[in-house]
């Protein structure tokens, strides 16, 4: 059941239905933006205007006009043609009759015809010269069979007037004059010739075609158009005379939106944004195509802006992938605070939501879980002598389907293939003087530092508890390390270098990544002091982490690029205590400082950022069956708690804004992890993993992230 419209709403709907052409030329986009043509004056060189008509009664709608035939001021329309044209240009949007394309524009009536509709070029020339300095646009819904002295038109062009001229109603292959003057070099792209199309957007049978003015030719609805007429009446008329005022109204909307545009720029924008009709591209029938106001209000060409130091950048190029430490940027993007002004090829300013280029961190996905469950890791250790140990891990996984033609009639073999690679490697050597040297690649690289390096009992290692890893080593995926250690007075002193690169040094050809200087890289120098007691261990680690093409784990380019480097100094205090045989409690707290830096994007700079991370874990062995491992960890991953980001952006054509935002997110991720692994026999094993993330990636409004995975593996 529908409710009846109010009388006012019903009247507006009726007026809108009468003004069907507004939808055809997509004028509503302009009205949504508050455009009406206000402040723009359009000269109508025609049979005059009925000043008492309801469509023109608004104060200031009509300026004092000129009767170019008599050199007087009587511009009363006794023919109806001029009022009809004027109503299409700027008729009131008041729920009566029809609405003009630029209903808020001002009209300058210039009568160049007798009441019978006949006229001459002398009156036209006088009318054009009168419009100079008084109007920005002149509408010429007129036609002549042949060329005439163009000096008045040349003068109008030089003065900056935009001239919109009807192509004529002879069904001819080319436009009549004065529209045909559009092809002349002196026209300076300031004359638009306009043809008419019917209700199916086909060229009207009466309309002249584009011909040799194709590059300056538009079409608009021109069949069955209702508009004002003489004596406060309305009439339905057809012709290119009805199509031309739609283009004049569209030009007024553009001029209101961007007053600094020149006439030739306005014309070019309308021409290049037209909807292509007929043969692809500019053609001799439709020229550029159908007037499209919505597209004319969109950027033409690349949108650019300037940074605070004068660098020009493309506003819409580039991306931003925040990390947990920089997740405040996502919140700023989601709330629409990352805005700037960009300019197109015509230096028109457009408000841009830069937040559209910011990607939200993804939640734990089923794909990730399945991929992880498909992989299996085999770790082998070998002791060559009392002072040399080696360990390596081989990773295997299944790749499904499509591996070539093996007799299948379809040419595609459907079978699963087993892939494997060396995933990690470590080598430790001890000298007689107590010096220990280690080298590792892959997943073993970070497990000798901090709490993960503790071993409180022969079968109770903390290396596999992810929540106990140094959070600042998470900035170095796919790492390798070289370290030396020595025992001094009961303390163990270790120094090392951990590095990651664009390419995994152990990767097989199946997972090859091309080397690229633009891929994120990082390296850390580590100095660590640790001490073990009876059933307990403590360590203090100092790191200096340098990132290249990344910033605290986030990746960015283009307008929101933060930096292509970062240097973070961090400290980690870790400890573990054996509560009972095969049961340990371990924890770590880490703090980092990333010094501020400047950038040459719209992000002018970032102040010093302070970050932290915490974790606590219970680790047990041989709880339910011999050889099993159980860990329960609660952690807060790396999070920024102090620091600011500054943006310097164009706010309009004249001014810049300097915006300062906090880099401390409103959310705080708290992660809980439960892992259990157990052998089921000499050939089988099982595992259970469960994870909960509250406010994942430190995003306050993010939904609880949940993961549950069961794994069973056997060899046969």
Supply the residues annotated as catalytic: 46, 81, 241
390: number of Cβ within 10 Å: 15
Q: Smallest Cα–Cα separation from 583: which of 459, 450, 690, 686? A: 459
The DSSP secondary-structure symbol of 256 reads H
Sign of CA dihedral 639, 640, 646, 651: positive
The DSSP secondary-structure symbol of 415 reads -
CB 141 within 8 A of CB 240: yes
66-67 vs 106-111, strand pairing mode? parallel
Distance of CA 41 to the CA centre of its chain: 37
Q: Smallest Cα–Cα separation from 319: which of 586, 164, 518? A: 518
What are the start-end ranges of the E strands in 501-564? 521-533, 536-548, 555-556
What are the phi and psi torsion angles at 18 (to 5°)? -65, -35
**Cα(95)–Cα(7) distance, rounded to whole angstroms?**
10
Q: Express the helix, strand and coil content of the chain in percent, nearest 5 each.
A: 20, 40, 40
User: 3-state class of 509 per DSSP?
Assistant: helix
CA distances from 265 to 161, 258, 325, 409, 691 (A): 11, 11, 46, 62, 59
* Helix or strand holding residue 43 (H, E): strand 41-46
526: number of Cβ within 10 Å: 25
Tokens encoding 178: 């004065």
Q: Smallest Cα–Cα separation from 43: which of 111, 132, 88, 107? A: 107
What are the start-end ranges of the E strands in 229-375? 234-237, 289-290, 304-306, 312-314, 320-321, 339-343, 349-353
Bridge partners of 111? Answer: 46, 67
**Cα(715)–Cα(685) distance, rounded to whole angstroms?**
10
**Cα(289)–Cα(195) distance, rounded to whole angstroms?**
10
User: 3-state class of 200 per DSSP?
Assistant: coil
User: 3-state class of 259 per DSSP?
Assistant: coil
Tokens encoding 253: 């909307």
Q: What is the DSSP string of 638-662?
A: EEEEE-EEEEEEE-SSS-EEEEEEE
CB 322 within 8 A of CB 253: no
In what order do the strands lie in the sheet containing 66-67? 66-67, 106-111, 41-46, 137-140, 162-166, 191-197, 217-221, 289-290
Tokens encoding 665: 């997110």
Rounded to the nearest 10°, the torsion over CA 689, 425, 393, 404 is: 110
**Cα(207)–Cα(633) distance, rounded to whole angstroms?**
79
Distance of CA 226 to the CA centre of its chain: 42
């Amino acid at each position: 059941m529908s409710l009846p419209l109010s009388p006012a709403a019903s009247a507006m709907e009726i007026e809108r239905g009468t003004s069907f052409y507004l939808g055809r030329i997509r004028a509503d986009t302009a009205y949504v933006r508050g455009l009406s043509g206000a402040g723009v004056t359009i000269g109508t060189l025609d049979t005059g205007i009925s000043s008492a008509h309801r469509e023109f009664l608004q104060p200031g709608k009509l300026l004092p006009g000129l009767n170019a035939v008599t050199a007087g001021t009587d511009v009363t329309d006794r023919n109806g043609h001029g009022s009809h044209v004027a109503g299409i240009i700027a008729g009131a949007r008041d729920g009566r009759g029809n609405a003009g394309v630029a209903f808020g524009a001002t009209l300058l009536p210039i009568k160049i015809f007798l009441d019978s509709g006949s006229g001459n070029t002398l009156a036209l020339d006088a009318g054009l010269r009168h419009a100079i300095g008084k109007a920005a646009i002149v509408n010429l819904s007129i036609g002549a069979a042949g060329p005439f002295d163009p000096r008045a038109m040349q003068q109008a062009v030089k003065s900056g007037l935009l001239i919109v001229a009807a192509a004529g109603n002879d069904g001819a292959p080319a436009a009549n004059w004065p529209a045909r003057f559009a092809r002349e070099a002196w026209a300076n792209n300031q004359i638009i010739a306009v043809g008419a199309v019917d209700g199916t957007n086909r060229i009207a049978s009466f309309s002249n075609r584009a011909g040799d003015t194709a590059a300056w030719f538009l079409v608009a609805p021109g069949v069955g158009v209702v508009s004002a007429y003489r004596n406060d009446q309305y009439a339905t008329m057809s012709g290119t005379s009805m199509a031309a005022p739609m283009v004049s109204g569209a030009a007024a909307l553009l001029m209101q939106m961007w007053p600094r545009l020149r006439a030739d720029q306005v014309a070019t924008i309308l021409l290049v944004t037209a909807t292509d009709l007929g043969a692809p591209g500019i053609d001799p029938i439709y020229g550029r195509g159908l007037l499209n106001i919505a597209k004319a209000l969109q950027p033409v060409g690349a949108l650019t802006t300037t940074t605070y130091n004068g660098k020009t950048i493309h506003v819409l190029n580039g991306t931003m992938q925040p990390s947990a430490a920089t997740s405040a940027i996502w919140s700023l993007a989601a709330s629409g605070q990352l805005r700037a002004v960009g300019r197109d090829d015509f230096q028109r300013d457009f408000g841009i939501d830069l937040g559209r280029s910011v990607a939200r961190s993804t939640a734990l996905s089923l794909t990730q879980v399945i991929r992880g469950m498909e992989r299996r890791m085999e770790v082998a250790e070998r002791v060559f002598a009392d002072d040399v140990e080696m360990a390596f891990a081989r990773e295997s996984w299944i790749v499904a389907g499509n591996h070539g033609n093996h007799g299948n009639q379809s040419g595609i073999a459907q079978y699963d293939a087993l892939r494997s690679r060396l995933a990690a490697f470590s080598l430790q050597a001890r000298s007689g003087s107590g010096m220990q040297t280690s080298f590792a690649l892959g997943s073993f690289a970070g497990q000798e530092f901090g709490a993960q390096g503790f071993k409180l009992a022969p079968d109770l290692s903390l290396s596999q508890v992810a929540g106990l890893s140094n959070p600042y080593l998470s900035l170095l995926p796919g790492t390798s390390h070289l370290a030396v250690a020595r025992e001094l007075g009961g303390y163990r002193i270790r120094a090392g270098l951990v590095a990651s690169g664009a390419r995994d040094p152990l990767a097989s050809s199946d997972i090859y990544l091309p080397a690229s200087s633009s891929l994120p890289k990082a390296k850390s120098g580590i100095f660590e002091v640790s001490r073990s007691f009876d059933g307990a261990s403590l360590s203090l680690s100092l790191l200096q982490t340098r990132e290249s093409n990344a910033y605290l784990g986030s990746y960015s380019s283009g307008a929101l690029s933060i930096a292509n480097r970062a240097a973070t100094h961090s400290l980690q205090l870790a400890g573990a205590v054996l509560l009972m045989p095969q049961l340990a409690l371990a924890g770590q707290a880490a703090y980092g400082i990333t010094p501020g830096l400047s950038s040459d994007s719209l992000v002018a700079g970032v102040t010093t950022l302070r970050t932290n991370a915490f974790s606590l874990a219970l680790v047990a062995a041989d709880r339910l069956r011999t050889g099993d491992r159980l860990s329960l960890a609660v952690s807060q991953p790396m999070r920024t708690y102090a620091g600011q980001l500054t943006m310097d952006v164009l706010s309009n054509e004249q001014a810049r804004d300097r915006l300062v935002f906090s880099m401390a997110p409103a959310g705080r991720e708290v992660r809980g992890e439960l892992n259990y692994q157990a052998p089921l026999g000499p050939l089988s094993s099982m595992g259970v993993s469960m994870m909960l993330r509250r406010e994942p990636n430190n995003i306050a409004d993010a939904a609880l992230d949940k993961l549950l995975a069961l794994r069973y593996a056997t060899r046969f």
